[in-house]
Amino acid sequence: MPFAKSKKTTCRKSNDLKPKECCAHAIAALDQHLTIPIQGRLTQTDLFQALVGMAAMQQSIHSITGFLDDTRTP
């Protein structure tokens, strides 16, 4: 008995995703699926922005205080 042919669906790769859009998607996914209770002015989103930015630039976790200070300044 032959298998029924199904319609092929392929995922189109998009190379036009900008770095900020990519980071925004990663941060939104982290915000949606993880909850971190934080006291003070720092928000969970600020922390995720700093961590994703550091990962993108391959920075050490020991330099996070500088990144967190940069995310809080308007």
Q: Which residue has the higher pLDDT, 32 or 61?
A: 32
Residue 34 domain-assigned?
A: no
Q: Say if CB 66 and CB 53 are below 8 A apart.
A: no
Residue 60, CB-side half-sphere exposure with 13 Å CA sphere: 2
Residue 22 domain-assigned?
A: no
Local confidence band at 58 (pLDDT 50, 70, 90 cut-offs): confident
Residue 35 domain-assigned?
A: no
How many structural domains are present in the chain?
1
Chain segment 60-73, per-residue pLDDT in tens = 766 666 666 665 55
Local confidence band at 24 (pLDDT 50, 70, 90 cut-offs): confident
Reduce the secondary structure of the chain to three states and give it as a string: CCCCCCCCCCCCCCCCCCHHHHHHHHHHHHHHHCCCCCCCCCCHHHHHHHHHHHHHHCCCHHHHHHHHHHHHCC
The residue range of the domain holding 63 is 40-73
pLDDT attached to residue 50: 86
Residue 15 domain-assigned?
A: no
